[in-house]
């Protein structure tokens, strides 16, 4: 039952190693989901949700939407579309959420690990 000193080191080392490795994976996962920008169905840019960013999106016909990512919140700060629905939609922050600008065919989606929505195939709305 008595453990030798090197056995204890070995076990502690293994445990510490696995904890480090496990937490590295966990951190890697939560280190910002990915904010994906698509125009007419084609991906044009992607950003980490945790890195503050301002990005000028060129939508169809060169029309403009301004994407802002700040403190994990994602929103369209400005757009020259007629309805402004995308700007008024406000902020999103959870994986699975999206902002769509129909006139400019722009989709902003937070992709990554979702909670309730991850078990869903789609949402009827």
Binding site for other proteins (CB under 8 A): 1, 3-4, 7, 10-11, 14-15, 17-19, 21-22, 25-26, 28-29, 34, 38, 40-41, 43, 82-83, 94, 97, 100, 102, 105, 107, 111-114, 116-125
Q: Which residue, 16 or 54, has its beta carbon nearer to other proteins?
A: 16
Cα angle value 92/77/68 (rounded, 5°): 60
Q: Which is nearer to other proteins, 17 or 54 (CB)?
A: 17
Angle at CA 69, nearest 5°, toward 65 and 75?
A: 50
Query: In the complex with other proteins, which residue's Cβ is closer, 68 or 98?
Result: 98
| Residue with token string 């700040």 | 70
Instruction: Output the smallest distance, CB 4 to other proteins, in A.
Output: 7
Long-range contacts of 56-63 (CB under 8 A, 24+ apart): 57/104, 57/106, 59/101, 59/103, 59/104, 59/105, 59/106, 60/104, 60/105, 63/103, 63/104
Distance CA 82, CA 18 (A): 54
Question: Residue 80 or 113: which CB sits closer to other proteins?
Answer: 113
Task: Report the nearest approach of other proteins to the CB of residue 121 (Å).
Answer: 5
Residue 66 CB, nearest approach to other proteins (Å): 20
């Amino acid at each position: 039952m008595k453990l030798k000193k090197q056995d204890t080191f070995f076990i502690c080392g293994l445990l510490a190693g696995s904890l480090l490795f496990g937490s590295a994976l966990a951190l890697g996962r939560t280190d910002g989901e990915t904010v994906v920008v698509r125009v007419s169905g084609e991906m044009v840019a992607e950003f980490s949700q945790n890195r503050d960013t301002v990005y000028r999106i060129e939508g169809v016909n060169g029309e403009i939407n301004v994407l802002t990512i700040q403190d994990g919140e994602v929103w369209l700060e400005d757009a020259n579309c007629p309805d402004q629905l995308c700007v008024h939609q406000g902020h999103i922050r959870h994986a699975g959420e999206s902002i769509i600008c129909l006139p400019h065919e722009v989709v902003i989606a937070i992709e990554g690990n979702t909670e309730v929505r991850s078990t869903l195939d789609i949402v009827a709305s």
